[in-house]
């Protein structure tokens, strides 16, 4: 797998990323503790069971990071200069331990870089879906990508 150069993208390009990932209890526990997030919904089975969800809810920042990570191999691997920003992040449904995630990406904008003629700016819409076909996370990612070398 390798990312694409800036000049290889077109607005409307759509990729259904092949890599899928089942979220484990270890993923959620390690991510929550590594980021010092003590939210009981993520770490306390009894508190989570008493919540409206009835079970542990996976840490949302892990969900977001997984969505972006699943996309990298097909989008920016080896061509990225920098991620410039993430916008319009939404999480319309919770993720639970044992859910299997898949990601899809659409190119929504292209813009030549004014300060770097050897690069351009791509706006991706990333979407993460579970095994029930529910969208669990979506965002815009703006990335500065290299142009294909001459």
Where exactly are the structural domains of the chain?
6-146
| pLDDT for the residue numbered 150 | 82
| pLDDT for the residue numbered 100 | 98
User: Angle 25-34/60-75 helices, nearest 10 degrees?
Assistant: 100
| Residues 123/86, Cβ–Cβ less than 8 Å | no
| pLDDT for the residue numbered 1 | 46
| Residues 9/110, Cβ–Cβ less than 8 Å | yes
Place of tokens 């990298």: 72
Q: Enumerate residue ranges in the chain where pLDDT < 70.
A: 1
Rounded to whole angstroms, the Cα distance separating 49 from 34 reads: 23
The pTM assigned to this predicted structure is 0.95
- Regarding the domain delimited by 6-146, which CATH topology (the fold level of the hierarchy) does it fall under? Thiol Ester Dehydrase; Chain A (3.10.129)
Rounded to whole angstroms, the Cα distance separating 135 from 121 reads: 26
């Amino acid at each position: 797998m390798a990312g694409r150069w800036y000049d290889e993208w077109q607005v409307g390009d759509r990729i259904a990323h092949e890599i899928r990932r089942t979220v484990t209890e270890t993923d959620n526990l390690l991510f929550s503790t590594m980021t010092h997030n003590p939210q009981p919904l993520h770490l306390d089975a009894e508190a989570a069971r008493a919540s409206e969800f009835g079970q542990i809810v996976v840490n949302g920042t892990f969900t977001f990071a997984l969505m972006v990570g699943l996309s990298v191999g097909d989008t920016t691997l080896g061509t990225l200069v920098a991620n410039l920003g993430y916008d319009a992040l939404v999480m319309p449904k919770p993720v639970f331990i044992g859910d299997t995630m898949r990601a899809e990406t659409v190119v929504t904008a292209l813009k030549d870089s004014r300060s770097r003629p050897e690069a351009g700016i791509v706006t991706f819409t990333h979407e993460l879906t579970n095994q029930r076909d529910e969208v669990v996370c979506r965002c815009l990612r703006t990335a500065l990508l290299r142009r294909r070398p001459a």
